[in-house]
Amino acid sequence: MTFGGFTGAAGPMQIGAELQKAGDRRGTLRRFKRYLGGFRAPIAGIALLIVVEVALTSYAPRMLQVAVDAMAAFLNGGLPLPDARRAVAAAMVVALALFVVGWAANAVARWQMVGVGQGILSNIRRDVFAKVHVLSMGYFDSIQAGDLVSRMANDTSVVDRVLRMGAIRMFQSFLQVIGILVAMLALSWRMALVSFVVLPAMMWLTWYFSRKARVAFRRTRQTMGEVSSHLERNIVGVREIQAFGRERANAGEFRRANAANRDANVTAETITAAFAPTLDVLAVIAIAVVLLWGGFLEGRDLVTIGVLVAFVQYVRRFFMPMRSISVLWANIQSGIAGMERIFELLDDDRVAAEPAAPAALPGGPGRVELRGVSFAYVPDTPVLRGVDLTVEAGTMVALVGPTGAGKTTILALLQRLYDPTDGRILLDGRDVAELRRSQVRQVLGVVTQEPYLFAGSVADNIRYGRLSASDAEVREAAERARADRFIRGLPDEYDTVLTEGARNLSRGQQQLLAIARALIVDPRILMLDEATASIDTRTERLIQQGLQELLRDRTSIVVAHRLSTVEAADLIAVIDAGRIVQRGVHRELARRPGLYRDLYRSQFRAAAPDGAASGTPIPR
């Protein structure tokens, strides 16, 4: 489903396909262990503290047995009252000490785990952020921005919750189960074996519910990504949405995505909620069995009444960590689902390829050559077909043609946002495939039709390409771009803070700042992708004055939008269906039959009868 050019939410079959690729849980956990490697010492300390806490609290019910047996001995006349009181008091003091020391060990372990969890989370976010910056443009062409943000924010936060709130309690609960089992066997193996009759059912239920929970929580992460994508698209495109009256339709699509996320969470929580009552039923059954069997054994003097009371406490305590495990396991399933999505991103092989041994950046004047360049965004659907083009150093080449001809794609290939499917691109005689992308971009300056300005001051946005630029250099670049005048009219001039995307500026003002940003880099090669498309004719004249100085003795490749740009070009390359169908200068191409003359006659002749520059656009 699409709206306003945006992709809608995935359908049930699409989400189902994602769930089938949930991955292998053991592999995910093995991957996660690598992040634990740098925290072995604090984790070992935490584990030791938990072992101490569990050992102490697991022994506490034995003190109840001592107290009950002492009182039973007194009631049966086998123990004087003062001795019984002393025995009970001593048992209670020891039990209290056990609980206090155990509580302190648990508190320190939790405090330590906060630091470990935040450290691991920081490393995961560092790796995700680094990965995003080396992924090829092909990856970003195939994923919704909101889903990517959801992986970086929501999924990592789920992992953080599991680390901080679940890891210690899960380990603690497992140890408690083991400690209680050992204590029960030591207290009375006859009663312990009878109590264990419910264990097979408990283990099967745990396996069954955990499997269901994992799939359910995977779906919650997927649908949360869809909700984030809808939010991101509607916030970014709010102007277009209101302009085309799409508020109600988009609200409906968001409701459907939001409902899918709600249903996924309800399903996951229902599975989780169903587990605890099931365990409660098993606990009641186990206690009933213990009372019946314990009463039988006590009647034959095989166990004492204190042992029976202690056993009831152990059975109750046994199901408490099992219940915690059920809840924590559901949270861990959610965390594993989040980890899987994070590792899917980290494992994606659509990485921008770099040479193993990059060559030195050539120091030439900026000659660019395309030799037999072909390219396809989608296999078997070529956008460029065998393009040959030479841009001599210090000259301006204008790319002209209808929409979808491949003009902007050529600029993207020159920036190495993509690599050619076939052919070579040479920079001063050096194949750009032999250079790192960062090397290529050192010599390029780019101004797009819709530049992106970041939240921050005007000055920071201008110096974005060269952070070391001084305030004086920033002002000089703004003056050359003819942006200084409007900047000085802003509330805080160069310190005025822009919103994300600079929505508090007009399109023309945004473009002027983008040109100043390119100027401050002082690039060897300048690429303008319809850089004056959003600017009125008066503003364009100001920019053209600055560009004349900028373009002097500098290689420039321009996607032509205005007649003035076409007329000033040293070479015009007319592109149609991914091929250069004509090349030459304006005067000769305007007279020669072909696509350029058709474009000129349909767009320029009426607007510029005397041959003067006009603001009439060539269609892209």
For the stretch 105-118, pLDDT in tens is: 888 888 888 888 88
For residue 571, give the 3-state DSSP assignment: strand
pLDDT of residue 388: 93
Q: What strands lie across the sheet with 384-391, from one edge to the other?
A: 384-391, 368-375, 422-427, 430-431
**Which of 485, 72, 494 is closest to 305 using CA atoms?**
72
pLDDT of residue 389: 92
Helix, strand, or coil here: 469?
coil
CA 434 to chain centre: 31
Three-state secondary structure along 114-155? HHHHHHHHHHHHHHHHHHHCCECHHHHHCCCHHHHHHHHHHH
User: Per residue in 430-464, pLDDT tens?
Assistant: 888 888 888 888 888 888 777 778 878 889 888 88
Give the number of other CB atoms < 10 A from CB of residue 132: 16
For the chain, residues classed under CATH 1.20.1560.10 are 2-6+24-347
- Tally of residues, the chain: 620
User: Residue 227 is which amino acid?
Assistant: V
Q: Calculate Rg over the CA atoms of the chain.
A: 36
Question: Does residue 203 surpass a pLDDT of 60?
Answer: yes
Provide the pLDDT for residue 32: 79
Residue 250 has pLDDT above 90, yes or no: no
Taking alpha carbons only, the member of 383, 620, 537, 215 closest to residue 223 is: 215
Taking the domain 362-436+550-608, which CATH number applies? 3.40.50.300
Lowest mean pLDDT among 291-305, 415-429, 602-616: 602-616
Task: Place 371 in a pLDDT band, splitting at 50, 70 and 90.
Answer: very high
CA 537/CA 515 separation, integer angstroms:
16
| Each residue's pLDDT tens digit, 109-164 | 888 888 888 888 888 888 888 888 777 777 777 676 667 777 777 777 777 777 76
Reduce the secondary structure of 27-44 to three states and give it as a string.
HHHHHHHHHHHHHHHHHH
- The arithmetic mean of pLDDT across residues 177-204, rounded, is 77
Name every residue whose Cβ is closer than 8 Å to that of residue 111 and which is 6 or more positions away in sequence: none
State in Å, rounded, how far the first CA of the chain is from the last one: 27
327 conformational bin, left if phi > 0, alpha if psi -120 to 50, beta if neither: alpha
Q: pLDDT at position 165, please?
A: 64
* Non-local CB neighbours of 408 within 8 Å, separated by 6+ positions: 529, 559, 620
Instruction: Flag whether pLDDT at 17 surpasses 50.
Output: no
Contacts within 8 Å (CB) and 24+ apart, 374-378: 374/420, 374/421, 374/422, 374/423, 374/578, 375/406, 375/409, 375/413, 375/418, 375/420, 375/421, 376/421, 377/138, 377/141, 377/418
Place 542 in a pLDDT band, splitting at 50, 70 and 90. low
User: Could you give the residue range(s) of every CATH 3.40.50.300 domain in the chain?
Assistant: 362-436+550-608
* Domain 2-6+24-347 architecture: Up-down Bundle (1.20)
Asked if 443 and 523 touch (Cβ cutoff 8 Å), the reply is yes
Could you tell me the pLDDT band of residue 539, with boundaries at 50, 70 and 90? low
13 pLDDT tier (thresholds 50, 70, 90): very low
Per-residue pLDDT for 617 more than 60?
no
- Reply yes or no on whether the pLDDT at 609 is more than 50: no
For residue 561, what pLDDT is reported?
A: 66
Element (H, E) at 83: helix 81-132
Q: How far is CA 472 from the centre of its chain?
A: 38
How confident is the model over 216-245, as a mean pLDDT? 73
CB contact burial 417-442 (16+ within 10 A = b; e otherwise): bbbbbebebbbbebebbebbbebbbe
Which of 201, 223, 220 has the alpha carbon at shortest distance from 212?
Answer: 220
Band of the pLDDT at 405, cuts 50, 70, 90?
Answer: confident
pLDDT of residue 373: 92
**CA angle, corner 178, sides to 176 and 179, nearest 5?**
60
The mean predicted confidence, pLDDT, of the chain is: 77
DSSP classification of residue 562? B
Indicate whether 416 pLDDT > 80: yes
SS3 content of the chain, % helix, strand, coil (to 5): 65, 10, 25
- Beta-carbon contacts of 135 under 8 Å, excluding residues fewer than 6 positions away, are 348, 350, 351, 352
| Paired tokens of 602 | 């349909």
| Whole-number pLDDT of residue 22 | 43
Instruction: Name the token pair of 170.
Output: 């899960």
Which tokens hold the place of 320?
Answer: 């408490």
